A and B are shown apart, each in its own frame.
Chain A
Amino acid sequence: MIRILSGDKPGSRFLSLILFGVLIALAFAPFLFDGTRALDTAARICILIVLAASFDLLLGYAGIVSFAHTMFFGLGAYGVALACLNLERGFGALAVGTAAGAGAAAVLALVIGLFSLRVRAIFFAMITLAVASAVAVLVSQLSYITGGEDGLTYRIPRELTAAVRYGEVPEFALTADWVLGGQRITGKIANYYLVFGAALALLLLMLRIVNSPFGRVLQAIRENDYRAEAIGYSVVRYRIAISVLSAVIAALAGSLFAIWLRYVGPDTTLSFELMIDILLMVVIGGMGTIYGAVIGAVLLVLAQSFLRDVMSSAAEATAQLPVLPQLLDPDRWLLWLGLLFVLSVYFFPTGVVGKLRQLRQRRTQSD
């Protein structure tokens, strides 16, 4: 197991349990949770884990602040969308679109890196922001290609849609009232497992990258780029390499998103809100850990998906009390979400993963 994780142990028993729980929940999501909303949430989590972890490669491991990450995500998504619209329906179109999106992301990341990774971090961040904004405007304006603000809807292979039925999961009664299984296995579930499998493979690949000699160099550059250069590492080359790698993985996540959603639009793939969400996921989960991206993505997506419901129930439960029901009104969910983030950053400056590892370390030292 540790070999699969590239020797990168979670570093805390509690964290291992959480991660295992997330893995099991996502692996069996189609059979554990009812309804399309739950499956959609699980697929989003898988995709955002990859997207956030690829951003962590940049921010947490190489110390590079970029605001162009959603742009690469969007390139991957639009690659699949355009291929599906312009090529014959089938897996070939998905493969071509995915490869084209990843290739375009690699080229663009290389060009941005060559021109701007020599400058100071803050200028690089500004340049990426400018390029990302320009691409978002371009996508909106070139509506005859991209569908503009309305985005694009397209058809994916029939085998990945709910129209195809592969069979049924045998029922398994745990108790008289609690029966597991019985669900129909449709193409939608196959689509989910395509997303889940690809996300898992990409996550393990990223774990391998950060624990490779290349990953150690990135950490050295983050810690002290001056010294890294002095011992013989060309800092600019390594920064460009990780920018390209991270962009390609973000584009692959975008392709998965497009395959899952069968729709792409600027709001869902290129928006600045999504960029902020990724940043929050990495910061809340814990920078420079990869596992932090998993925790951050799960927390954020669950909060965004279910905080309203929780607040609605809480408002009903406190209906007799003064002020509280108004405060817990579901319409105020963004206020509470913001408050939760401020508190989590305040109390866990090294992120959830960092905090759990610190606790574990302290306990080991006191023993």
Chain B
Amino acid sequence: MLETHDLTVRFGGHTAVDAVSCRFHTGELTAIVGPNGAGKTTFFNLVSGQVFPTSGRVTLSGADISRLSPAARTRRGIGRGFQQTNLFPGLTVTENVRLAVQARQRKGGRLLRLAQSDKQMGRETDALLSDVRLERMGRRLAAELSHGEQRMLEVALLMALQPSVYMFDEPTAGMSAEEAPLVLGLIDALRRDASKSILLVEHKLDVIRSLADRIVVLHNGKLVAQGAPDEVMGLKIVQDAYMGQDLVNV
């Protein structure tokens, strides 16, 4: 189980995340919502290690991981997807995914083997590309893909890591109407795995309603509400301040 304990980070005089304590259980998908600037991505950065907390702790299965590097946290089982497409643009689509598979299998230190010689890794890479319907794009450079395709590749990279905690940061942003359901289907399949926790930052309330088991609401870096979707969305404070008109429209 992933937990944050009074997690706080300050940038100069600004407190971006303010004493947030949460539990993310396995077998559960938690949506993290809030208006722009609420601190959702900073909270993600704190959990995945891109930013170190000013105070407070992050624990995974009881172990304090607050001071571990992002790479060390990934090796412990925290997989992070990014809001902005964050790939290896000069490498091929296959190489992008293969690098993530290789990282999970901890084979990056092999010096004298050929990168392509591991057939099992090749098959797994192909399967992942097929899952996100990029199987025909394998030889193209990541930079040559459309924005939607790059987002799909981003998801494939995260899936390749097979973490125990998946962190999706607006995974369907910029995707076409055909691509988004595919990714949501993949997330839904992961949700059914009782050994995984999923954290999802998402603005689309229909997506949250269909996928989330629990919702955490952040505003100005503070945790203002958490609980079951119906319960949280029904709260007046959430309707007034955080969902605004969107909630009415859904």
Complexed CA–CA distance, A230 and B95 (Å): 16
**Does residue A213 face the partner (Cβ distance < 8 Å to B)?**
yes
Complexed CA–CA distance, A241 and B113 (Å): 17
**Does residue A231 face the partner (Cβ distance < 8 Å to B)?**
yes
What residue in chain B is nearest A218 (Cβ atoms)? B108
**Does residue B75 face the partner (Cβ distance < 8 Å to A)?**
yes
Report whether A213 and B102 are in contact in the complex, using a CB–CB cutoff of 8 Å.
yes
> Given A213-B110, A214-B108, does the pair A219, B71 have CB atoms closer than 8 Å?
no
**Does residue A338 face the partner (Cβ distance < 8 Å to B)?**
no
**Does residue B36 face the partner (Cβ distance < 8 Å to A)?**
no
What residue in chain B is nearest A208 (Cβ atoms)? B112
Q: Which of B81-89, B214-222, B224-232 contacts A (4 or more CB under 8 A)?
A: B81-89
**Does residue A304 face the partner (Cβ distance < 8 Å to B)?**
no
Fill in one digit per residue for A194-223: 1 if any B CB lies within 8 Å of its CB, else 0: 000000000000001101111111011011
Report whether A229 and B88 are in contact in the complex, using a CB–CB cutoff of 8 Å.
no
**Does residue A238 face the partner (Cβ distance < 8 Å to B)?**
yes
Report whether B108 and A230 are in contact in the complex, using a CB–CB cutoff of 8 Å.
no
In the complex, chain A residues whose CB is within 8 Å of the CB of B99: 216-217, 220, 228, 231
| CB contact list, A226-268 vs B, under 8 A | 226-235, 238, 241
Report whether A212 and B72 are in contact in the complex, using a CB–CB cutoff of 8 Å.
no
Give the A-B contact count at a CB cut-off of 8 A: 96
Complexed CA–CA distance, A6 and B106 (Å): 21
**Does residue A181 face the partner (Cβ distance < 8 Å to B)?**
no
Report whether B71 and A215 are in contact in the complex, using a CB–CB cutoff of 8 Å.
no
Report whether B91 and A233 are in contact in the complex, using a CB–CB cutoff of 8 Å.
no
Report whether A214 and B111 are in contact in the complex, using a CB–CB cutoff of 8 Å.
yes
Complexed CA–CA distance, A223 and B142 (Å): 11
Select B71's contact among A6, A223, A233, beta carbons within 8 Å. Answer: A233
**Does residue A21 face the partner (Cβ distance < 8 Å to B)?**
no
Give the B interface residue count (CB, 8 A). 37
What residue in chain A is nearest B158 (Cβ atoms)? A231
**Does residue A182 face the partner (Cβ distance < 8 Å to B)?**
no
| CB contact list, B74-119 vs A, under 8 A | 74-75, 80, 82, 86-91, 95, 98-100, 102-104, 106-116, 118
Report whether B89 and A224 are in contact in the complex, using a CB–CB cutoff of 8 Å.
yes
Report whether A230 and B50 are in contact in the complex, using a CB–CB cutoff of 8 Å.
yes
In the complex, chain A residues whose CB is within 8 Å of the CB of B80: 230
Select B102's contact among A216, A219, A222, beta carbons within 8 Å. Answer: A216
In the complex, chain A residues whose CB is within 8 Å of the CB of B223: none
Fill in one digit per residue for A1-41: 1 if any B CB lies within 8 Å of its CB, else 0: 00000110000000000000000000000000000000000
Report whether B102 and A227 are in contact in the complex, using a CB–CB cutoff of 8 Å.
no
**Does residue B171 face the partner (Cβ distance < 8 Å to A)?**
no
Report whether A232 and B103 are in contact in the complex, using a CB–CB cutoff of 8 Å.
yes
Complexed CA–CA distance, A217 and B110 (Å): 10
Report whether B88 and A224 are in contact in the complex, using a CB–CB cutoff of 8 Å.
yes
Report whether B115 and A215 are in contact in the complex, using a CB–CB cutoff of 8 Å.
yes
- A20: min CB distance to chain B, Å: 22
What residue in chain B is nearest A3 (Cβ atoms)? B114
Report whether A235 and B71 are in contact in the complex, using a CB–CB cutoff of 8 Å.
yes
Report whether A214 and B110 are in contact in the complex, using a CB–CB cutoff of 8 Å.
yes
In the complex, chain B residues whose CB is within 8 Å of the CB of A227: 82, 86-88
Please list the residues of chain A having a beta carbon within 8 angstroms of any beta carbon in chain B: 6-7, 208-209, 211-217, 219-220, 222-224, 226-235, 238, 241
Could you pull out 5 A-B pairs where Cβ atoms are within 8 angstroms?
A208-B114, A215-B115, A224-B87, A231-B100, A234-B71
Which 4 pairs, one residue from A and one from B, show the smallest C-beta to C-beta distance? A232-B74, A232-B103, A223-B88, A213-B110
Please list the residues of chain B having a beta carbon within 8 angstroms of any beta carbon in chain A: 48, 50, 69-72, 74-75, 80, 82, 86-91, 95, 98-100, 102-104, 106-116, 118, 157, 161
